[in-house]
Amino acid sequence: MEINSQRKLKSRIKQGIVTSLVGLVALFSGCGSNNKLIDAKTLKHPYVETAFVSDQVVLHGGRVKGDVRQDTFLFNLNNRLSGYVWQNYSFKEKAFNERDVRVWYTYPISSNLSVNAGYHYFDYPTGTFGDYDSALVGGAKYKGIMDLDLDITHLIPNKNTDSGTRIYAKASKKIPVFKKKDLEIALTPNISTSYIDDYFNLSGLSQVTPGINLGITKGNFNVNFFLNNQNGLISEIPSFNWAGLSVGYRF
């Protein structure tokens, strides 16, 4: 997607999020630097992360070209109520062009399955994508032989954005490579896709993206190297490779 198209898309993204929570199977999860869905269940203490990423990419595949730095602060109040603050620093704009706040409530169904629902607020300090957006979100997470994530976002219409829905799904498998005491190295292949229905005026299966993550954990610290190969399936969504590096600490 060209930058102008992406700005138009982003502007719509911020404009909405959902008056009605679509389809609850809902573990709402926040998005980390690798478009990974944050699993609050495993983060019982505050968590901070900084990542350097080749492009700003949203879950359905919209892209703003250019290197960015993405910061995340996540907190878990009681293993049920969680929240996070996420911000995107554009080296091209030399400013933070987006800052998000999310809160959500998680309900465990079993030891492997949880559902969640929450609220997401998008702020655009530079005005690149507009003024703000907000949304209700829902989803589900299953942890087993393969980890499965579902995230549903329904835009709340405002003067700039119409109502629309995005359904994002991701499957991943962690493969241990090395472990000794508190040092662990693992590879995690994954594949994700999104279906959008009048989501910022876009509809259809938007992308299919295989990826690979190399994670190194030492005590409370973790480092992740990731590479994704996005295959756009509608004309507004580009096909390209994007990559990054993140460093995180769990208190």
Return the pLDDT at 129.
87
| CATH number of residue 77's parent domain | 2.40.160.40
Chain-centre distance for alpha carbon 101 = 12
Alpha-carbon gap, residue 198 to 214, rounded angstroms: 35
Mean pLDDT (the chain, rounded): 87
What pTM was computed for the model?
A: 0.82
Which single residue is written with the structure tokens 């295989």?
210
Say if residues 209 and 61 touch (Cβ distance below 8 Å). Answer: yes
Q: Summarize pLDDT for 161-202 with one digit per residue, the tens.
A: 888 999 999 999 999 999 999 999 999 999 999 999 999 889
Q: With 60 as the cut, is the pLDDT of residue 246 above it?
A: yes
User: For residue 92, what is the enclosing H or E element?
Assistant: none
One-letter identity of residue 1: M
Q: Summarize pLDDT for 79-97 with one digit per residue, the tens.
A: 799 999 999 999 999 999 9
Q: Give every CB contact of residue 154 below 8 A, 6+ residues apart in sequence.
A: 17, 18, 19, 20, 21, 22, 135, 136, 137, 163, 164, 165
The residues that bridge with 16 in the sheet, in sequence order, are: none
Longest dimension (CA), the chain: 55
One-letter identity of residue 45: H
Q: With 70 as the cut, is the pLDDT of residue 49 above it?
A: yes
In the numeric block, which tokens belong to residue 221?
Answer: 């610290």
Cα→Cα distances 190→45, 159, 163, 210, Å: 26, 37, 30, 6
pLDDT band for 159, please (50, 70, 90 cuts).
confident
Specify the higher pLDDT residue, 158 or 225. 225
Q: Summarize pLDDT for 54-70 with one digit per residue, the tens.
A: 999 999 999 999 999 99
Closest by Cα among 166, 156, 136, 153 to 15: 156
Range of the structural domain that residue 73 is part of: 3-250
Number of domains in the chain: 1
Residues in the chain, total? 251
Return the pLDDT at 37.
61
The residues that bridge with 145 in the sheet, in sequence order, are: none
Return the pLDDT at 11.
47
Number of neighbours of residue 136 by Cβ within 10 angstroms: 21
Say if residues 27 and 38 touch (Cβ distance below 8 Å). Answer: no
Say if residues 156 and 199 touch (Cβ distance below 8 Å). Answer: no
Q: Which of 17-21, 46-50, 129-133 has the highest mean pLDDT?
A: 46-50
Return the pLDDT at 219.
96
Q: Summarize pLDDT for 3-40 with one digit per residue, the tens.
A: 444 444 444 444 433 323 333 233 333 456 777 665 55
Return the pLDDT at 132.
87
Return the pLDDT at 34.
75
Task: Classify the phi-psi angles of 4: left when phi > 0, otherwise alpha if psi is within -120 to 50, otherwise beta.
Answer: alpha
